[in-house]
A and B are shown apart, each in its own frame.
Chain A
Amino acid sequence: MSALVEINNLTVRFGGARTVHAVNGVSLSVEKGEVLALLGESGSGKSVTLKSILQLLPPRRTTIGGQIRFDGTDVLALKGRALSDFRGRDVSMIFQDPALALDPVYSVGAQIAETVMRHQGVPREVAMDRALEMLRKVRIPSPERRLKNYPHEMSGGMRQRAMIALALSCNPRLLLADEPTTALDATVQMQVLLLLRALQKEMGMSVIFVTHDIGVAVEIADRVAVMYAGTIVETGTIAEIMKNPRHPYTRGLLAANLHGAVKGTRLDAIPGAPPTLEQPPSACPFAPRCPQVRPACHAALPPVVQSGPGRRVACVLEAATA
């Protein structure tokens, strides 16, 4: 196995009226054909990490450090033509709100065909055939008719499918998914998750899937990286994370999901709220909320303890038991 994406010590800082250290030393890798879930709450830096892979952050306000390699190429150094080739052909992205990805004034078919023509240099007819094939692939009923539809003529779930068709039309090797099912109704969310799972298997691409919902991660991911305050606190396979969570924050998140919580009992809530990140963390960022906090947690950044291939926990307690 070789890594398709390698992120090394990524830091992202936003300037402006208030400085925000959104990502603070994230390192992770994604293998070919693997689905990695970035799991975290709002402000954990999961979306920012994802967007920096495509250089989608506002360049004037953003300071990025570290390295992102995609199949050996230094992604953060890409510019101009090379960057636009990279976006959409090698890597594409789907969003929570399809309105961000679909242009309201063009029909869905025209948009997919346009992308195919730009990246593959094929004539319009071939591109339209490809668009039709993609709508079939994402299981949109009566695709011939839907090809000519505009985004507003489709229901929410259908638009999400159309966006997936657009994103996958050029056979990307990596798909970035930024909470694509969060705004959908429960029954539709499950349809889209199952579709993504099937398409991933069929097309063999790697996926980085950002979500705040552990349940969604369970349904889609091979591996999970749990993020907190711009750092990765724990990584492992989905089974490892679910059955043997090591980091106190991961445990707290699992408990807060309420799956199996008994009515009438008090919930084990994590007290407090995440830090505001005006300063980069100099100690364990979870220490102020942690039920098992030690003096060492406030003194320095926690050690990252590796207990197996791809199994890492950033916690003082883990170092003590290892």
Chain B
Amino acid sequence: MTDATTEPVLRIAAQSQGYWAGVWRRVRRDPVTLVCGAILAALILAAIFAPWLGMADPYQGSMIRRLKPIGTAGHPFGTDELGRDMLARLIHGGRLTLFLGITPVVAAFAIGTTLGLIAGYVGGWVNTIIMRTVDVFFAFPSVLLAIAISGALGAGIVNSLVSLTIVFIPPITRVAESVTASVRKLDYVDAARASGAGDFTIVRVHVLGNVMGPIFVYATSLTSVCMIIAAGLSFLGLGVKPPEPEWGLMLNTLRTAIYVNPWVAALPGVMIFITSLCLNLMSDGLRSAMNVRQ
């Protein structure tokens, strides 16, 4: 009874790889994702190690060196409206901006995934309660919701984090719910039930692993949105306060310099643009790399 063993195995690989090894193998063949990942890694590392990079003091202004253009000696990216070094401020600004962009998504990912898993797996009235509550939040545009919550809580970094987390729980819950509900319908979940496994075991072994990927990819794409909204809050004076360097806030304060030195004024926007573009392209790349059927 070994006739099926003579069948060719679909992949040539002598030993089968694990799931993540396969994902990594596919990512390695995708230059766009690799380049985006490298840029993001560089930005994050630069932000983390900013104080030790030996750059100018981002808070030290100079009345006589205001709004120097890009390429000025000693200030490769010029200076801002108070004469502070733009390069130092952009790198230091990455710390707060990325922190404000990533932390709320991580928190919302944890809360939203839990809610979505419960709603999608249990179904019935539990689903109705969770999902209709989530729907209420969808009635407001996310930017407006963030401003409203931030406004109610007052300005400040912690309050921005809280408001952004609340904003991103509903979309993640909804994605988690729909992915869970579709996995829940698959025969292997039925087969697991038929072998007498409890709900907790089924969720842990059969559901969680198969829903985390898509939710994670979706959350990655939200990070860029979150960063932009966080920058927007700072721009409106609801998030970070001057003189802290933060890309959104810098965009705001440099706004007045747009006619004097437009290139310098645009730099924080360019940073936001590059970061969110890289995040989006990378999440697209991850999405296709995580597709098991490939």
Touch test A–B (CB under 8 Å) = yes
Are B8 and A273 in contact, CB atoms less than 8 angstroms apart?
yes
Chain B 1-28, CB within 8 Å of chain A: the 1/0 string? 0010011101000000000000000100
| A278-322 at interface with B (beta carbon < 8 Å) | 288
C-alpha spacing A17/B7, complex, angstroms: 22
For residue B294, CB closer than 8 A to chain A, the reply is yes
C-alpha spacing A275/B294, complex, angstroms: 18
Are A276 and B294 in contact, CB atoms less than 8 angstroms apart?
no
Are A273 and B294 in contact, CB atoms less than 8 angstroms apart?
no
Are B7 and A272 in contact, CB atoms less than 8 angstroms apart?
yes
Question: Which residues of A lie under 8 Å from residue B29 when comparing CB positions?
Answer: 17
C-alpha spacing A201/B265, complex, angstroms: 76
For residue A264, CB closer than 8 A to chain B, the reply is no
Question: Which residues of A lie under 8 Å from residue B26 when comparing CB positions?
Answer: 17
Chain A: residues with Cβ within 8 Å of the partner, total of: 8
For residue A58, CB closer than 8 A to chain B, the reply is no
Interface of A, secondary structure class, is loop
Question: Which residues of A lie under 8 Å from residue B8 when comparing CB positions?
Answer: 272-273, 275-276
C-alpha spacing A288/B8, complex, angstroms: 10
Q: Report B1 CB to chain A, min CB distance, Å.
A: 12
Are B6 and A271 in contact, CB atoms less than 8 angstroms apart?
yes
Q: Report B263 CB to chain A, min CB distance, Å.
A: 39
Q: Report A201 CB to chain B, min CB distance, Å.
A: 43
Which of A17, A269, A288 is close to B294, meaning CB atoms less than 8 Å apart? A17
C-alpha spacing A273/B3, complex, angstroms: 10
**Which residues on B are within 8 Å of A, measured CB to CB?**
3, 6-8, 10, 26, 29, 294
Pairs A–B under 8 Å by Cβ, sample size 9: A17-B26, A17-B294, A271-B3, A272-B3, A272-B7, A272-B8, A276-B8, A276-B10, A288-B6
Beyond the given pairs A17-B26, A272-B3, A276-B8, 13 more chain A to chain B contacts, judged by CB atoms under 8 angstroms and listed by A's residue number, are A17-B29, A17-B294, A269-B3, A271-B3, A271-B6, A272-B6, A272-B7, A272-B8, A273-B7, A273-B8, A275-B8, A276-B10, A288-B6
8 interchain residue pairs of minimum CB distance: A273-B7, A271-B3, A272-B6, A272-B7, A17-B294, A276-B8, A276-B10, A271-B6
